[in-house]
Amino acid sequence: MAITQERSYQALTVETVRSVVEQLQYFEDVEQLEVLEIGDGNLNYVFHLQDPSTSKSLVVKQALPYAKVVGESWPLTLDRAKIEYQSLQKASEVVPELVPVVFHHDSELAYTVMEDLSSYEILRAGWITGNQYPEVGKHIGTYTAQTLFHTSDFFLHPFTKKALVKDFLNPELCKITEDLVFTDPFFDHDTNEISDEIRPFVLQFWQDEELKREAAKLKLQFLTEAEALLHGDLHSGSIFVSAKSTKVIDPEFAFVGPIGFDLGQFLANILLNYLSQEAHIEKQRDLQAFRKYLLETWHQTWETFSNQFLELIRSKGHFTFSSIGGVGEEYIGKVWRDTLGFAGCEVIRRTIGLAQVADLNSIEDAPVQVDLKQKALTVGAALIKDRAKFEDLSAFLTWVEESLS
Ligand code: SR1
Ligand code: MG
């Protein structure tokens, strides 16, 4: 039975997924396709379909009505598939080279057919292996500047901006972030994953009232500041890379929120990898070189983002006060402080919360892993509490070199 004739939701299988691509007339004979389910994320199915005779291929991503990482006990809206599709469409209007090509979307069956990126690597996996991607900082700086500016009040008419906020209300996925990033890791919550070895350190960590006060401010910003349409989950597992090209995927957490959140998530995942390299790279000289590359990546990200965003305010901005000296620069200063604070929350969450990262968890030497996780928690707390003290990028980079090496 062809799944396209069934108009109520059902999960696709390696058999039924053929019929959903048949209508695209992209492949000559869908029966010949080799189909694999390759999803390794937390939430969705991802099918890879390839014609063995021509090597033409596509990917079909389908949302499940629950969070795959936990199971059917955690129901989750299928609307996220449409949000992801619409967000990819918006990004493709300004940075088509930095997102996958989308061929088709079906909201009822909650699937999207898109470009196969399996010739690329996931950035997290590449970094763990010690691979360098010299362009990724510039690309993520461009992606954030262009997508965030063009969906902000600096660019949009107020009516259009409000409509955007309404179109991208994403309450269930936002709630996941509100809980997993901004709440649970600061308390003894059952979603956390904390080994017996690190628990005594974490018990002390939870005693820090100043940290909780500052985390509360950041959570309130996340809840209330509708600055621009975010990707919403911009960690190194949401980025495909090759030597010269970058593709940002998976914007199912998209909503109109504080700009620093996207940049902060990317920064946090750079810092987590930076820390973890102590266990992955054996030779001291190679370790130093790789860490230098990671800091250079963040340098390029921030410089590209801030320069492009300011230039866009100057050249395309519709916000009345944009021409007043310092308005744009002060706004970028606010985004900088928010970025550091949000990065701190993400570092802490990926260390002791739900959905931790392979950068740290793949370290087999248990005492080394515990030591690095403690360092990560200390770094995360410092970013949250001291975010207003790092005057600029160079002060921050010096601090990383001195305190994380
Ligand atoms: C239940 S979802 C867990 C995490 O996976 C996604 O990638 C987001 O980061 C989310 O917080
Ligand atoms: Mg994801």
Q: Where are the domains of the chain?
A: 18-114, 121-404
Torsion sign over Cα 363, 367, 398, 334 = positive
Is residue 3 pLDDT above 60, yes or no?
A: no
Q: Rounded to two decimals, what is the model's pTM?
A: 0.96
What is the structure's pLDDT at 25?
A: 93
What is the 8-class DSSP label of residue 96?
G
By alpha-carbon position, which residue is closest to atom 5 of ligand 1?
42
Atom of ligand 1 at shortest range from CA of 233: 9
- Residue 93: CB atoms within 10 A of its CB come to 12
By alpha-carbon position, which residue is closest to atom 4 of ligand 1?
355
Mutational pocket test of ligand 1: of 43, 77, 80, the residue with most ligand atoms within 8 Å of the beta carbon:
43
Ligand nearest to the CA of 265: 1
Task: Give the whole-angstrom CA distance, residue 10 versus residue 92.
Answer: 29
- pLDDT band for position 5 (50/70/90)? very low
CB 302 within 8 A of CB 393: yes
Adjacency order of strands within the sheet including 246-248:
121-122, 239-241, 246-248
CA distances from 403 to 258, 368, 379 (A): 28, 17, 8
- Residue 270: CB atoms within 10 A of its CB come to 22
CATH of domain 18-114: 3.30.200.20
What is the structure's pLDDT at 43?
A: 85
Express each pLDDT in 56-96 by its tens digit: 999 999 999 998 878 888 899 999 999 999 999 999 999 99
Task: Give the whole-angstrom CA distance, residue 372 versus residue 283.
Answer: 18
Express each pLDDT in 375-404 by its tens digit: 999 999 999 999 999 989 999 999 999 999
Ligand 1 pocket at CB < 6 A: 42-43, 67, 69, 176-177, 180, 233, 354-355
Lowest mean pLDDT among 129-138, 290-299, 311-320: 311-320
If you classify domain 121-404 with CATH, what class do you get?
alpha beta
Ligand nearest to the CA of 63: 2
Task: Give the whole-angstrom CA distance, residue 130 versus residue 290.
Answer: 7
The four Cα atoms 89, 299, 326, 255 give a dihedral, to 10 degrees, of 30
Cα of 357 from ligand 1 centre, angstroms = 11
- Residue 19: CB atoms within 10 A of its CB come to 16
Assess whether the region 18-114 and the region 121-404 belong to the same CATH fold: no
- pLDDT band for position 1 (50/70/90)? very low
Please name every residue paired with 106 in a beta bridge, in sequence order, or none if there are none: 111
Is residue 208 pLDDT above 60, yes or no?
A: yes
